[in-house]
Amino acid sequence: MKVLLISLPDPPGIHVFRFHAAGFGSSFVMPNPEHKYEVYPPIYEAYVASILENEGHEVRILDCQSPNIEVEEILKEIEKKNPSLIISRICLPSYYHDLKIMAKIKELFPDIVLIGWGGICKVFPENVLRESQLDIVFRAVELEDILPEFIRAYEKDKIENVLGISLKKNGEISHTANRPFNKNLDAIPVPAYHLLNMKKYVTQESHYIFGGSKEKFIPFFSVSGSRGCSFNCIYCPYPVTYGPWRGRSPEKVVDEIEVLVRKYNIRTIWFHDQTFSMIPKRTIQLCDEIIERRLDIHWATETRIDTLKPKVLKKMKESGCGRLEVGVETGDPILLKTVGKRGLTIEKIVKTAKAIKKERIILETNFLVGLPGETWDSIKTSAELIKKINPDILTAMIVTPYPGSPLYTMAEKNGWLLTKDWSKYTLFEPVFSMPNFTADDMREAHHYLYLQYAINKQKKELLDALFNLNFLALSKILFSNVPKFLRKLPRIIRNKFR
């Protein structure tokens, strides 16, 4: 059977990170379309393509994000390949654009079966089917588990036996029973790299190498070493989409990395894990495997900060870890305990942040604005914590109540939701408002955290320039940054006295 896996193009002027937020996606407005942006490879599609090829199917992956491919080109490719099935991830920020493209495909190729998958398809399958020209949606995101079984059933006209699908037939929508999460991740083969242009996935060197250049872009690729998260924070979409934590064996993970290094000369790896260091012993084993095979890679990942013990950090650094992305969420200990990171304390955060920086690993911290119970006092406490731990990269996001999460249920029950226009669910635009902390407060607080971070960074740069008598750096700070600071001074004063 001919199968086409499409990673759909971005909406005009928007860049969508399709893998972010457990596949619900995040996005930002592109200020300069000519600028080079980091595009992550469609790793789930590459995994399942490998299985399908081994089962004798003719598979094609069309990655329309790198660079952005116009709809007309997609239609030409479909006409040329004439697939029986087309499978595409549907994301929130690009929701209406994704469905519009799929509708155009159905209009011109009515006999092709169109399948959608992703977080929104899992949570609201009926809505997606009614609002689209899709024939089927998968209520499971692990393509390597559900798609091969679906195709085998489709060929026998028995798709009603496949768990985790919802289908539309003659205007009627039906659902099969829910599908359990894939427990045998070691059965996942090496991805079908040959179906992708491996040279076009590039990232900034400074994101993976301590002291690396922001101007230099280097080849990279994603590897999925584990899936899921077992902590169940109320705002987090990871448990919704990926379920509890499950890991692949270190040997299998490093086998995949070795192919990237030896065959494609790719030595920069993004571990597409939600809680990379969930099991410290396994983390050390994985790092040892990388070291023993002398792969000489640079890698980065996301994990929970209180799983990072000094012994684990040292081993991670030795194996090539260049950046760690950790969720701190808030500097307020009450919020941290009640709705943020249960079991995590400010003391643990500060101690582990120091340990990460001591190993010369780039520290990227995620903070959230707008958690239930948020106030301007808690925002200022977050700003103080940011100043104290001094991350190399700060990512501040506005809390987004993702469908299926406890926060979404809470927001809907309390009448906090402002919109169900999914294109606004970007992580950087408020979609709900609370009586004691409104959407306007969220916007202002989001800006405030970045502004305070920038001011603290500039102070440090100024002191370093003075201490080292670096007059070139000093003149740049004074003549470039001071005018910007003065323009923002009224806003700084206003927030200072809230």
Of 179, 304, 307, the closest CA to residue 236 belongs to: 304
Residues 254, 276: Cα–Cα separation, whole Å: 14
| CB proximity list for 415: less than 8 A, separation 6 or greater | none
Write down the pLDDT at residue 232: 82
Cβ(266)–Cβ(223) below 8 Å? no
Average pLDDT along the chain = 92
| pTM confidence score | 0.92
> 394 in helix, strand or coil?
strand
Token code pair at residue 138: 């998968």
Residues 427, 126: Cα–Cα separation, whole Å: 24
Burial-class residue 120 by CB neighbours within 10 Å (0-12, 13-18, 19+): buried
Cβ(353)–Cβ(393) below 8 Å? no
Helix (H) or strand (E) segment spanning residue 122: helix 119-123
Percent of the chain with pLDDT over 70: 91
Token code pair at residue 40: 């992550």
Of 232, 228, 237, the closest CA to residue 399 belongs to: 237
Cβ(276)–Cβ(226) below 8 Å? yes
Write down the pLDDT at residue 342: 74
Instruction: Name which residue leads in pLDDT, 208 or 456.
Output: 208
| Domains contained in the chain, CATH given | 2-175 (3.40.50.2300), 201-399 (3.20.20.70)
Q: How confident is the model at residue 487 (pLDDT cuts 50, 70, 90)?
A: low
Token code pair at residue 382: 């977050």
> 486 in helix, strand or coil?
helix
- CA dihedral over 83, 85, 90, 94, signed as positive or negative: positive
DSSP characters for 329-367?
A: E-S-HHHHHHTS-TT--HHHHHHHHHHHHHTT-EEEEEE
Cβ(217)–Cβ(204) below 8 Å? yes
pLDDT digits (tens, 9 = 90+) for 30-79: 767 666 678 899 999 999 999 999 999 999 999 998 678 999 999 999 99
Write down the pLDDT at residue 141: 94
Cβ(88)–Cβ(7) below 8 Å? yes
Cβ(239)–Cβ(191) below 8 Å? no
Q: What is the mean pLDDT of residues 362-381?
A: 97
Instruction: Name which residue leads in pLDDT, 476 or 366.
Output: 366
- pLDDT over 70 at 346, yes or no: yes
Q: How confident is the model at residue 471 (pLDDT cuts 50, 70, 90)?
A: low
Q: What is the mean pLDDT of residues 426-448?
A: 97
Amino acid identity at 123 = V
Write down the pLDDT at residue 498: 60
Write down the pLDDT at residue 33: 62
Q: What is the mean pLDDT of residues 448-458?
A: 90
- pLDDT over 80 at 135, yes or no: yes
Q: How confident is the model at residue 112 (pLDDT cuts 50, 70, 90)?
A: very high
**Residue 47 CA: distances (Å) to CA of 16, 31, 54, 143, 284:** 21, 33, 11, 8, 25
DSSP structural state of residue 292: H
Amino acid identity at 248 = R
Q: How confident is the model at residue 494 (pLDDT cuts 50, 70, 90)?
A: low
> Which of 55-64, 112-121, 377-386, 468-477 has the least mean pLDDT?
468-477
Strands 85-89, 113-117: parallel, antiparallel or unpaired by DSSP?
A: parallel
Write down the pLDDT at residue 460: 66
| CB proximity list for 141: less than 8 A, separation 6 or greater | 22, 23, 44, 117, 118, 119, 122, 241, 242
Token code pair at residue 368: 């959230």
Residue in the structure block whose two tokens are 């091969």: 148
